[in-house]
Structure 1
Amino acid sequence: MTAETKPLTGRIALVAGATRGAGRGIAVQLGAAGATVYVTGRTTRDKVSEVGRTTETIEETADLVTAAGGEGIAVPTDHLDVEQVRALIGRIDREQGRLDILVNDVWGGEHLLKFGEKTWENDLTGGLRMLELGVKTHAITSHTALPLLIRHAGGLLVEVTDGTAAYNSTRYRENLFYDLTKNAPIRMAFGLARELKEYGGTAVALTPGWLRSEQMLAGFGVTEANWRDATAKIPDFAVAESPVYVGRAVAALAADPDRERWTGQSLSSGQLAKEYGFTDADGSRPDAWGFIVAKETDPDVSADDYR
Structure 2
Amino acid sequence: MTGRLAGKVALVTGASRGLGRAASLEFAQAGAWVICTARSTRGHSTQPRLPTATIEDTLDAIRAAGGQGEAVACDHTEEVQVRTLLEGIAARHGRLDVLVNNAWGGHDPVEGTPRRPVIWDEPPGQLRNMLLAGAYGDYVTSLLALKHLMGPAGRGVILSTTWHTDEPPGWLPYEVSKAAKNRLVYALGTQLREQGIAVVGLAPGWMHTELMELYHTPEELSGHTETPHYAARVLVALASDPDVLRHTGQVLDVGPLARLYGCTDLDGRQPDWNAQRRAAQGA
Do these two structures clear the TM 0.5 threshold for a shared fold by scoring above it? yes
Query: Counterpart in 2 of 1:86?
Result: 83
Q: CA deviation at 1:218?
A: 3.9
Q: Structure 1 residue 182 and structure 2 residue 172: aligned?
A: no
1:48 touches 1:54 (CA, 8 Å); kept in 2? no
Query: Counterpart in 2 of 1:291?
Result: 276
Normalization by structure 2: what TM-score? Answer: 0.92
For 1:284 and 1:18, the matched residues in 2 are separated by: 24
Q: Structure 1 residue 31 and structure 2 residue 28: aligned?
A: yes
| Cα offsets for 1:206-263 (capped at 9, x unmatched) | 11100111111243354xxxxxx335xxxxx633110100110010011111111111
| Cα offsets for 1:176-198 (capped at 9, x unmatched) | 21111112111111111122222
Normalization by structure 1: what TM-score? Answer: 0.85
How do 1:93-172 residues align onto structure 2 when only pairs under 5 Å count? 93-110=90-107, 111-112=109-110, 114-118=115-119, 120-147=120-147, 148-163=149-164, 168=165, 170-172=167-169
Sequence identity, in percent?
Answer: 38
For 1:265 and 1:69, the matched residues in 2 are separated by: 33
For 1:7 and 1:248, the matched residues in 2 are separated by: 12
Q: CA deviation at 1:128?
A: 1.9
| Partner amino acid, structure 2, of 1:18 | A
Secondary structure of the 2:130 match is: helix
For 2:65 and 2:281, the matched residues in 1 are separated by: 39
* Bigger mean CA offset, 121-130 vs 49-58: 49-58
| Cα offsets for 1:156-194 (capped at 9, x unmatched) | 00111122xxxx264312x22111111211111111112
The partner residue of 1:214 within 210, 220, 229 is 210
| Partner amino acid, structure 1, of 2:162 | T
| Structure 1 gap segments, 5+ residues each | 223-228, 232-236, 299-307
2:166 touches 2:175 (CA, 8 Å); kept in 1? no
For 2:27 and 2:65, the matched residues in 1 are separated by: 9
| Partner amino acid, structure 2, of 1:180 | V
| Cα offsets for 1:52-86 (capped at 9, x unmatched) | 54521011112222333431210001111111111
Q: Structure 1 residue 9 and structure 2 residue 6: aligned?
A: yes
| Cα offsets for 1:90-119 (capped at 9, x unmatched) | 11101100000001111132255722531x
Query: Counterpart in 1 of 2:53?
Result: 56
Q: CA deviation at 1:295?
A: 1.1
Secondary structure of the 1:150 match is: helix
Q: CA deviation at 1:269?
A: 1.3
The partner residue of 2:239 within 246, 251, 254 is 254
1:161 touches 1:183 (CA, 8 Å); kept in 2? no
| Partner amino acid, structure 2, of 1:230 | E
For 2:169 and 2:255, the matched residues in 1 are separated by: 22
Query: Counterpart in 2 of 1:19?
Result: 16
| Partner amino acid, structure 2, of 1:137 | G
Q: Structure 1 residue 194 and structure 2 residue 190: aligned?
A: yes
2:105 touches 2:132 (CA, 8 Å); kept in 1? no
- Number of equivalent positions: 278
